[in-house]
Structure 1
């Protein structure tokens, strides 16, 4: 990850770790065809930058020789309705779906899950899903959504602490903190085959 301001403080999520936890979970369950649902990315200084989760996903899948462009679906926004509309588009196009899909955030995953249910596609029976962020609603959909928990509260607290420490000490050097994450396994990813 490249940082523009060398002496700035950064409190960041480890997106590679997030993706690896999701993909490890899928692989532990024997899923080889794994897709990705996410957003196009963000614009920084006039150029579009891919989401870091997507880049980590693509790199890992390419390393394993399993990256398949036809299993990548991107949308402009990351709301529940965007996941739902993208799901309807995928179903309408009659595209073959992979056995498992990592979804960039829980909102998209919940919308996509609704489309699957409306089309009688069993989760996790036919398609396993893992989202990201572990929003509260993830535990209350059917089936409950497996998700990688990102500690946004820790990010905020550590950012405030670094700012206060910098103001109090006059520190000039930048500090980079990586916030941990954890996989919260629920019903949407299926049973583990690892003993």
Structure 2
């Protein structure tokens, strides 16, 4: 059985970060501590054939419609970097753009670096984008992404359950005509949030009216423009909307207010992500809080656990959310 860093940590009493630093001969560990750790490792038969010297945080970009200028992803990045540092690893950031002519060459270099382990930010990845990553020679964990065809260790948001909770809240507030503000770039997260919306509507035998579904852009300005066009073509609105995320919700709210609608007096809105701007929007946005920093930290911990233990079973961890009640929903 492979001896793990965690096992050496338990025997010596030193933290996993200190053990890892000593085994990899990094600075910051005094000689006496390092000698004790190395001696214990040798006695246990610990082998260092595959030294991981760094964590690569690979940020996949398809079109930038979600990750560019998003306040969500810097928080995730900070969590990754903070946890990596605490474990004694440097973080190397790689931005890969599938539309770049150098994409395949860049990817081959990243996936063949056996001295690194990869946290792959898969927010914008579509099903067809995952296949090259299955050939990686290094360990990978997928963060904020989902593949139905390929299996990776993953840390992601509980999208369906969280969206369902938001729609249940609207129903509890007396709403029956509930619309959906749908992002036009259908990332996997949005698809699973739509499932949650439709699941609850079906559970309560409430029809999903096509005229109550507004497909808009995924940036504030394009969500605003999309909602303006929708309002020009739709004479009757639902009493409430669930939005794919806060950015979409805020852009749509601007268009609604411009047309003379009161929020929440005429229309209630719930977002998703709990970005900071939502707390100071007018009105403050009811939303779903995602543990962004914690997801980044968890991805690094699970990745290094996989490296140290040599586990072969793939696991998908869905991180639960919290509901944040503010002033954008009224009770009927």
Say yes or no: TM over 0.5.
Answer: yes
CA contact (8 A) 1:10 1:177 kept: yes
Superposed displacement of residue 62, structure 1: 2.7
Instruction: State the distance in 2 between where 1:60 and 1:69 align.
Output: 16
Work out which of the two has the higher radius of gyration on C-alpha atoms and give 1 or 2.
2
C-alpha distance after superposition, 1:13-33 (max 9, x if no partner): 111221122112111210110
Q: CA RMSD in A?
A: 2.1
Unpaired segments ≥5 residues, structure 2: 1-145
> Hey, what does 2:173 align to over in structure 1?
29
Superposed displacement of residue 65, structure 1: 2.6
Divergent runs of 4+, >4 A: none
Instruction: State the distance in 1 between where 2:267 and 2:197 align.
Output: 18
C-alpha distance after superposition, 1:11-52 (max 9, x if no partner): 1211122112211211121011000002234479xxxx9621
> Hey, what does 1:5 align to over in structure 2?
150
Higher share of residues assigned strand? 1
Instruction: State the distance in 1 between where 2:256 and 2:190 align.
Output: 26
**TM-score normalised by length of structure 1:** 0.87
C-alpha distance after superposition, 1:127-163 (max 9, x if no partner): 0000000000000011100001111222211111111
SS of the counterpart of 2:288?
strand
Unpaired segments ≥5 residues, structure 1: none
Superposed displacement of residue 56, structure 1: 1.9
Instruction: State the distance in 2 between where 1:138 and 1:43 align.
Output: 21
> Hey, what does 2:231 align to over in structure 1?
91
**TM-score normalised by length of structure 2:** 0.53
Q: Whose RCO is larger (CA < 8 A, sep 6+)?
A: 1
- Report whether the alignment pairs 1:142 with 2:282: yes
